[in-house]
Amino acid sequence: MSTVNTAPGKRPLPKPSKARSTPAAPGRRKANPFWRWSLRVYRAPGVQEACLALQDRCGADVNLLLFCGWVGLAGRALDQRLLRQAAACVGRWQAEVVAPLRAVRRTLKHGGAKASTAAPALALRRRVAALELQAESVEQTLLFELAGSWPPPARPKRPPIAVAASLGRYLASLPGVPQPPGPRHLATLVDACCATPATRRSAGDPGAGINKPAPPGRR
């Protein structure tokens, strides 16, 4: 990944280490296991609706929602300290790269381009969508590397309990949430995360069907 220029006195955006380079094309086999697992979870019934509802209503980062599920499979329930680490790890990347790309894509989708510009606007939206997908993959690589730096949980919990606890703490930590998220959305995420193994043993490509439905955070 090329170096991102920043203003004097401003920390550079985080980037994955050279030892675990960012996947050139999300969905290929060399993508990190968290990304492949997230794509499978996101295709489960009701997960896309739940994630987008929590994203739009509560300001949740879909990748952090999925991260709660990913680490919960190993019995880890994220406490406030670990949640702060995860949020700090990807906060600038999400705010300054992923979110602006999403805003541009949505503007192009609903911007009402004139007939004379509809075709180039559609082509541009597709290119922006591809960049957004790559940016989501980078964010998940950062989270995957962070989780790899943590020691195993001292007292592992049952995955459903760990996932539910992490999701609840994460959503409760978000500023300005007017009301608690619907229990239906949380239950959908917990069930889908716990029903999706962290690794796939079949010979099929874990990243296949990447466009059915949209990748995490996409609408």
Listed in sequence order, the DSSP H helices in the chain are 33-42, 47-58, 62-72, 80-93, 99-110, 118-149, 159-173, 183-195
Q: How confident is the model over 115-128, as pLDDT tens digits?
A: 778 889 899 999 99
Any idea where the domains of the chain sit in the sequence? 31-195
Q: How confident is the model over 68-80, as pLDDT tens digits?
A: 999 999 999 999 9
CB 167 within 8 A of CB 186: yes
pLDDT at 208: 31
Model's pTM, two decimal places?
A: 0.78
pLDDT at 182: 79
What tokens does 132 get?
A: 């957004």
Residue 178: pLDDT band with limits 50, 70, 90: low
